[in-house]
Structure formats: C-alpha cells, structure tokens
C-alpha cells in the first residue's frame, strides 16, 4: 500500500502476511499488532512516549543475564505471566501460579522427609502432602522441584553468600505419593527494583512486595506438569501480590505445633526443641485431556 | 485481590495503580496492559508462545549495540513507528516518515550545492528544493540533516568499509530557503534479517525490502521538526515497504537530464559527462500550534 495512513496501517500489516504463513502465526501476530496499533491510536502515543518504551526495552536488555531475567519480571508485574498460567490451568487440578524469574534447573536430590533448612536460622516449617490424580489416587514416582527464599529474602541465584542450590531440592515420591520436607519458613520479599521494572512500579505508585511462598514444579509421566506456589493464610501481602500469583486454593493455614509433635522420619539438622510450623498441602495433577480450552 | 482470575486480572492491575500516579501514566499504562491482556485472552496464548515472545525480546537484547537498534527495527516492521509518526504529523506540512534505526548524530556540514557522492560510483542524483512554511515563505536558516545508503545498500553505521559519516551531511539554508546537493541515487535495500526481527519477517512470509529513499530531518527555530523520506516514483517496492514508510506526497519523479543541463553552482567530484537524475522536492514545516490532535 503506497498511501499508508493511521487508519489503514493495521489492514496493510495484515495484507503483508503471506497467505501461506502458519495459520496460528497469522492469528497470534495479527492479534498482537492489532492491539499494539489500537493502544497507540487510543492513547495518541507521542514520540517521547514511544522513545520511553524503547528505552525501557533497551534498559531491560542492558541488565539481562543468565540469572537476571528482566523481561520475565516485566511480564510478571504486568500480570501477563499469571494470565497465561490461568488460561491453561486444569479444571479439577491444583491451581497453577507464576514460575517467576528465580527458578534454576539442576537442583540436588532431596529425600522424602529431607531437610532444606540446614544451618540457617528462622522459624522451622514442615510441609507435607500427597501428589494425587484428580480422582484422589496417589501418583507413584511424581517429581517435586522445590525452591524458596533464604531467611534474608533472597533466592540462591540472587545471593553470592549462598550455595548455588541452597533452598532448592528435587524430590521423587514413592508409591504412596507422599512428599515431606523441613525448611525455614519463607519470607515476604520484594522483586528486584534496581532495573527498568522498578521504574515501572515507582511510576505506577505500586509496591514491589510478594507474600511469602514455597515454589513447586510437579511433574509425572502421563500428567500435565504444574507450576505452583503455596502461601500462608496470615501473610500481609496476600491481597496485593505484585505479580498476581495468589489463588484461593493455594492459601493454606500454617499451624503452630509444639516441639514434641515434630513428625517421625524427618531428617533435620540438630534436635528440634522449639515449636514449629506445619502445613499440609496436597497437589492434584490433571491428565493431558482435561485442560481448560 | 486474593482470588485473581483470568477475567478479573486486568481490573486488579488497574486497582494496583496509585490514585496519585501521574494521570497520563495511568492512561498509557492502563491501555497498554488492557490490550496486552486482551491479546493473551483472545489468542488463548500458550506457555510455549509466551516463551517464544520472551526469547524474542532476549534475542533482541543479545544483538543490541550502539549501532544496531533491534527494538527500533521491531517497532518499524510492526508498523508502530510509522503509526506514531502519522498520529503526530501536521495537517498542512510535508508528511513525516520513519526515522529508522540507522540515523547517527554529528554529521559534518555540507554546503548548499555540496557533494555527497565523492569517489563512489553509480547514477548521479541532484536533489534540490526549498524549505518553506505552510504559507509558502522560505524559512531562512533551516537545517537539513541528510543521510542515505551507499551504492552497496548499506548505511555508514552498518559498513566498516565506509567512513563514519559517508553519505551523511548537515546543510544550513540561506535566506532563500534553498537546499541542493549531488549524490549517488540511493538503492533499494533489505532491513537486517540476521536477528530476531528477521525471524518475524520469515515467519510471516514477508520480504525485508525497502524502496530506495533519501532521509531528511528538517529543523528550524519556531517550527515543528520533520523526519521524512523521499521515494522515486518508479521504485518496485513502493507498494510494499517493509517498514510502512511511503506516503503519497513523498513519492517524486526523478527526471533524467543530459549532462549539459547539470546545474551551475554544484560542487561535485570530477566533471559530469553523463546523464544525471534530478528531483525537486520542497519541504513544508508547520508551526507548533498546527499539530493534528
């Protein structure tokens, strides 16, 4: 089209796409560009604002490393990551929640009943439950990839003072589907605000806090993988998680128990002489044919 | 909001923005996120597609340098750059067109009638015209920042074999508003396809070609600056410019003239013994109060 105008440019873009291009590419790219153009038209986006947007992307590029995923963080605080999770969560399974930018692969094995607390101080938490199918049958051999913050609010990947895989563990459950581990209660923390995403939060007048949570990735052959989080019901940030990760069924009561009730068969560093927190959380996985459309 | 759902997450995002945040930030960020969420919902965007999007941004980040502006190029081929130009072009002035990713600041002065061709071969082109206000009066002292491709289709910033400012010049016009220079006719060229933007073009079944053009940035105190391009009317890519830059009033006939008609007062390397191309193109600048809403 020779005479491109602000009113026909979206149609011109659609005409440029080849009829032979993949139909799903047509659909996704067409919708993306239609919304991008409508955004610019509706806001009458100025050159200065366009330059601010380009500078935001270039600022993310400048800070991006193997351990610092600023584009993922941007997707998280804009709600896109959570929305994609919710679009593809299973009807009857446990809700999914954001992966976040801090997951690292290759965590060391952690036995059922194992200890992630090690030498760290802070309130002891015991988490246990069963990995089940949606009929309530245990899933033998399911794998649980667990990670969380240290008591200083940092993930191992953010903190040179921690071992590479501190507060990370990979647990394989037995025929009863049961998982269990002891750890330190995770703490509330702020997402990183020293990059361009921090500028967005400040400009919007938003805080950077997330409620405390345990991260799980649960996988089993023949089932849909689940990325999720577990939140304590008394957390002050439950109603304002800056990455939109909280779902009703992921909010659990952490019960305080006396030292004498510490469960048998748990491997923990040192003797438990203090009250501890306990949460029971079963995880239900769906099979591939039960995804929401 | 504790129970975020795919249907309420956009409202939750809006509620997170502080009432004290800048109203324009509210408007722009709110519209951006609404369109981003609608895009994901309408396409039922999958995790794999989300990862492809993140990988695209990270791929742009990996290739971004001072001379390679992949995010700008992405905006160009998606039509966003041209759309922002058109939203803010002036009613009675010359149309604007894309700046593109190859402009570099600090070009050396070029006298009126100066020579940008130098030792390069190829068809000689003489371009001249008058910088005017919208009433047709010449604008004394207006400045013209000119840049174009070398005959090999590369801008100086892309090509280590060229001087830093080859085919770049900064011209200041006199009281008559007249500009003039000789050069080599620019050639059609492809935008860079060795990065993630090339992947988009290939996936969409689109070619990467732009029609041949001269780039101008025209500035004068008291007038709106104009970023524009001039295209020859016989170019094969006029109807399919991959960055959507062509406007009717920027398409000009390049007239072939015999050597004997080469204009007086032009400084050109060597004697002109061959026919040359000639284009006359007046540039009209608007004043600040005449911008389209």
Give which of B10, B87, B101 to mutate to test A binding, by max A Cβ within 10 Å.
Answer: B87
A160 CB-near residues (< 8 Å, 6+ apart) = none
Q: Are residues B50 and B168 in the same domain?
A: no
CA proximity to A127, closest of A263, A285, A270, A272: A263
ipTM of the complex: 0.88
According to DSSP, residue B8 is labeled: T
For the cut 90, the answer to whether the pLDDT of residue A231 exceeds it is: yes
User: Nearest CA to CA, how far is B281 from chain A (Å)?
Assistant: 18
Q: Are residues A121 and A33 in the same domain?
A: no
Q: Are residues B170 and B108 in the same domain?
A: yes
Return the residue matching tokens 């509330």.
Answer: A188
More confident residue, A173 or A3: A173
Task: Work out the angle at residue A199's Cα, subtended by the Cα atoms of residues A197 and A201, and round it to the nearest 5 degrees.
Answer: 75
Tell me the residues of chain A between 233 and 252 that have a Cβ less than 8 Å away from chain B: 238-242, 244-248, 251
**B89: number of Cβ within 10 Å:** 21
For the cut 50, the answer to whether the pLDDT of residue A93 exceeds it is: yes
Quick one: tokens of A258?
A: 């006396």
- To the nearest whole percent, how much of chain B has pLDDT over 70? 97
- To the nearest whole percent, how much of chain B has pLDDT over 90? 83
Contact assignment for A83 to B40 by CB distance below 8 Å? yes
- DSSP SS3 for A77: helix
Q: Are residues B196 and B56 in the same domain?
A: no
B112-135 pLDDT, tens digit per residue, is 999 999 989 999 999 999 999 999
| Distance between CA atoms of residues B165 and A127, nearest Å | 65
The pLDDT score that the predictor gives to residue B293 is 41
Contact assignment for A205 to B20 by CB distance below 8 Å? yes
A1 within a domain of the structure (yes/no): no
Instruction: Pick B79's closest partner by Cβ from A20, A33, A245.
Output: A33
User: Nearest CA to CA, how far is B106 from chain A (Å)?
Assistant: 20
For the cut 70, the answer to whether the pLDDT of residue A290 exceeds it is: no
B147-194 pLDDT, tens digit per residue, is 999 999 999 988 999 999 999 999 999 999 999 999 999 999 999 999
Tell me the residues of chain A between 95 and 114 that have a Cβ less than 8 Å away from chain B: none
Contact assignment for B204 to A18 by CB distance below 8 Å? yes
Contact assignment for A29 to B242 by CB distance below 8 Å? no
The pLDDT score that the predictor gives to residue A170 is 98
The four Cα atoms A58, A59, A63, A66 give a dihedral, to 10 degrees, of: -40
β-strand partners of A65: A68
| Distance between CA atoms of residues A79 and A84, nearest Å | 9
The pLDDT score that the predictor gives to residue A293 is 40
CA proximity to B293, closest of A44, A239, A222: A44
Residue of A nearest to B41 (CA): A87
User: Which residues in chain A are closer than 8 Å to B19, comparing Cβ atoms?
Assistant: 205
Q: H or E stretch including A179? A: strand A178-184
Highest mean pLDDT among A53-57, A261-265, B117-121, B269-273: A53-57
Structural domain including A37 reads 9-45
Q: Are residues A101 and A197 in the same domain?
A: yes
Q: Are residues A119 and A190 in the same domain?
A: yes
Distance of CA B245 to the CA centre of its chain: 7
According to DSSP, residue A181 is labeled: E
Query: Do B170 and B110 form a contact (C-beta atoms < 8 A)?
Result: yes
β-strand partners of A190: A209
B2 within a domain of the structure (yes/no): no
Q: Are residues B28 and B131 in the same domain?
A: no
User: Which residues in chain A are closer than 8 Å to B43, comparing Cβ atoms?
Assistant: 27-28, 31-32
Q: Are residues B48 and B183 in the same domain?
A: no
The pLDDT score that the predictor gives to residue B101 is 81
Q: Are residues B273 and B241 in the same domain?
A: yes
User: Which residues in chain A are closer than 8 Å to B38, comparing Cβ atoms?
Assistant: 35
Residue of A nearest to B293 (CA): A44
* CATH at B225: 2.60.130.10
How many angstroms separate the Cα of A105 from the Cα of each of A95, A226, B162, B185?
22, 15, 46, 55
| Distance between CA atoms of residues A28 and A25, nearest Å | 5
Residue of B nearest to A66 (CA): B58
Contact assignment for A21 to B60 by CB distance below 8 Å? no
Tell me the residues of chain A between 16 and 35 that have a Cβ less than 8 Å away from chain B: 16-22, 25, 27-29, 31-33, 35
B205-222 pLDDT, tens digit per residue, is 999 999 999 999 999 999
| Distance between CA atoms of residues A191 and A69, nearest Å | 11
Tell me the residues of chain A between 111 and 170 that have a Cβ less than 8 Å away from chain B: none
Contact assignment for A4 to B244 by CB distance below 8 Å? yes
- DSSP SS3 for A40: helix
Name the domain count of chain B: 2
| Distance between CA atoms of residues B13 and B73, nearest Å | 30
B25 within a domain of the structure (yes/no): yes
B89 within a domain of the structure (yes/no): yes
Instruction: Pick A39's closest partner by Cβ from B32, B40, B46.
Output: B32
Query: φ and ψ at B178, to 5 degrees?
Result: -85, 135
Quick one: tokens of A22?
A: 């993949």
User: Nearest CA to CA, how far is A158 from chain B (Å)?
Assistant: 19
As a whole number, mean pLDDT of residues A35-60 equals 97
A216 CB-near residues (< 8 Å, 6+ apart) = A144, A145, A146, A226, A227, A228, A229, A230, A283
A160 within a domain of the structure (yes/no): yes
Per-chain mean pLDDT for chain B: 93
A73-82 pLDDT, tens digit per residue, is 999 999 999 9
Q: Please spell the DSSP secondary structure of A250-281, one letter per residue.
A: GEE--EEE-GGGPPTT---SS---S-EEEEE-
For the cut 80, the answer to whether the pLDDT of residue B289 exceeds it is: no
A54 within a domain of the structure (yes/no): no
User: Nearest CA to CA, how far is A59 from chain B (Å)?
Assistant: 9
Q: Are residues B235 and B269 in the same domain?
A: yes
Contact assignment for B28 to A43 by CB distance below 8 Å? yes
- Number of A–B residue contacts, CB under 8 Å: 213
Q: Where are the beta strands (DSSP E) in chain B?
A: 114-115, 124-133, 143-147, 168-172, 178-184, 189-190, 209-210, 214-219, 226-232, 251-252, 255-257, 276-280, 283-285
The pLDDT score that the predictor gives to residue A289 is 65
Tell me if chain A has a CB within 8 Å of the CB of B15: no
B175-184 pLDDT, tens digit per residue, is 999 999 999 9
B3-52 pLDDT, tens digit per residue, is 889 999 999 999 999 988 999 999 999 999 999 999 999 999 999 999 99
Contact assignment for A10 to B79 by CB distance below 8 Å? yes
What is this structure's pTM?
0.88
User: Nearest CA to CA, how far is B248 from chain A (Å)?
Assistant: 5
User: Nearest CA to CA, how far is A111 from chain B (Å)?
Assistant: 30
Tell me the residues of chain B between 189 and 208 that have a Cβ less than 8 Å away from chain A: 200, 203-206
Contact assignment for A82 to B31 by CB distance below 8 Å? no
Quick one: tokens of B77?
A: 């081929």
Contact assignment for B54 to A75 by CB distance below 8 Å? yes
| Distance between CA atoms of residues B147 and A65, nearest Å | 35
For the cut 90, the answer to whether the pLDDT of residue B273 exceeds it is: no
A1-35 pLDDT, tens digit per residue, is 578 899 999 999 999 999 889 999 999 999 999 99
Q: Are residues A282 and A148 in the same domain?
A: yes
Q: Are residues B48 and B105 in the same domain?
A: no
B4 within a domain of the structure (yes/no): no
Quick one: tokens of B80?
A: 């966003």
B1 within a domain of the structure (yes/no): no
């Amino acid at each position: 089209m020779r005479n491109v105008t602000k009113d026909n440019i979206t149609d011109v873009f659609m005409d440029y796409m080849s009829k032979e291009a993949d139909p799903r590419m047509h659909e996704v790219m067409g919708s993306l560009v239609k919304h991008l153009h409508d955004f610019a038209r509706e806001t009458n986006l100025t050159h200065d604002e366009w330059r601010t947007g380009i500078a935001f992307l270039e600022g993310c590029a400048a800070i991006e490393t193997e351990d610092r995923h600023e584009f993922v963080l941007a997707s998280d605080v804009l709600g896109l990551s959570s929305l994609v999770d919710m679009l593809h969560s299973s009807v009857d399974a446990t809700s999914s929640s954001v992966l976040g930018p801090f997951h690292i692969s290759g965590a060391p094995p952690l036995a059922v009943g194992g200890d992630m607390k090690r030498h760290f101080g802070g309130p002891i938490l015991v988490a246990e439950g069963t990995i089940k199918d949606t009929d309530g049958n245990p899933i033998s051999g399911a794998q649980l990839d667990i990670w969380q913050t240290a008591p200083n609010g940092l993930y191992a990947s953010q903190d040179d003072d921690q071992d590479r895989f501190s507060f990370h563990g990979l647990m394989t459950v037995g025929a009863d589907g049961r998982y269990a581990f002891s750890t330190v209660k995770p703490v509330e923390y702020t997402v990183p605000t020293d990059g361009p995403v921090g500028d967005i939060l400040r400009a919007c007048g938003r805080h950077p806090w997330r409620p405390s949570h345990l991260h799980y990735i649960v996988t089993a052959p023949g089932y849909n993988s689940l990325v999720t989080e577990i939140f304590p019901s008394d957390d002050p940030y439950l109603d304002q998680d800056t990455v939109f990760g909280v779902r009703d069924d992921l909010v659990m009561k952490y019960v305080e128990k006396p030292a004498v009730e510490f469960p048998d068969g748990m491997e923990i560093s040192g003797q438990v002489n203090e009250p501890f927190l306990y949460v029971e959380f079963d995880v239900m996985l769906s099979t591939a044919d039960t995804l929401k459309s």
